[in-house]
Amino acid sequence: MLPSLESLRCFEAAARTLRFREAARAVALTPTAFGQRIQKLEEDLGVALFVRTTRSVQLTREGLALLPLARRCLLAAEACADVASHGAAATSMDLTLGTRHELGLSFVVPSLDALRRALPRVELHLYFGSGADLLLRLRSFDLDCAITSSHLADPKLDAHRLHREDYVFVATPALLAERPLRRAEHARAHALLDASPDLPLYRYFRDAAGSEELPFARVVRLGTIEAIRQRVLAGAGVAVLPTYLVRGDLAKRRLARVFPKITLAHDYFRLVFRKDDVRRAMYDELARALLARPLR
């Protein structure tokens, strides 16, 4: 027996809140009626979806597997209702785009008016997060698409290649005058500022140089690229950063290149979306519109 949309709506609310009373209010049902909907859904599917005690509610393994599918069904039902209500005259379609904080403010936000002209029926919403967070939210249907340079290992995700992302190894001129960094052994006098252990920006220098790790005095992880840039400008250490982000700092000589003869490895930004998303044509248009905008 196919589950009803109302049962799936109740399940999604319960899975989102993990509080049955709160979920019941969200779907305008009494707690008793809400509990009956969940029980009926579990009976129809033949599995337990929640582990319930007097103090907590948790999803079972089957509940976790059902959640993204239920959300997909509800989204499709909403789209059907919109077509039924508005037909060809439907004015807009909501699309939530995830992006890194720095790229969002320097590239995506300034491009919003141009994107609106290119896709007049799309209402674009933004979410800011890290690369790993963006991919996780794509898989869980919290985002429709995302711009990231993270490498894709999930066969359920697809992507359009966007702008090339170049990197540069930088420090303040004052720091390099006080403590030069021209040979590997000089690194012992410096702190390396980086983002995270799993996605170090320093790898773009290491891979290009083809050498072992430089023996830095310490490595400080700051989480976001803009935080790294601010600390580098304060003279707190050296770092590998995206060229687009520090181009102005280099031009105004607030920053200088470290090992300037080494061309660092590069990457690409990608517009990532789920392979089974039926709106692929829309992502094709969005990718073309993003490529038409200069990276900055």
Cα separation, 228 vs 232, in Å, equals 6
pLDDT in tens, 26-84: 999 999 999 999 999 999 999 999 998 878 889 999 999 999 889 888 888 877 776 66
The tokens describing 190, both together, are 């410096």
Mean pLDDT, range 6-23, rounded to an integer: 93
Cα separation, 214 vs 240, in Å, equals 13
Mean pLDDT, range 97-106, rounded to an integer: 91
The tokens describing 125, both together, are 């919403």
Asked whether the predicted pLDDT for residue 120 surpasses 80, the reply is yes
| Predicted local distance difference test score (pLDDT) of residue 211 | 66
Query: Band of the pLDDT at 86, cuts 50, 70, 90?
Result: low
Q: What is the DSSP string of 2-30?
A: PPPHHHHHHHHHHHHHS-HHHHHHHTT--
| Predicted local distance difference test score (pLDDT) of residue 50 | 94
The answer to whether 270 touches 160, Cβ cutoff 8 Å, is yes
Helix ranges, 140-233 (H): 173-178, 203-209, 225-233
Residue of 224 and 108 predicted with greater confidence: 108
| Predicted local distance difference test score (pLDDT) of residue 85 | 61
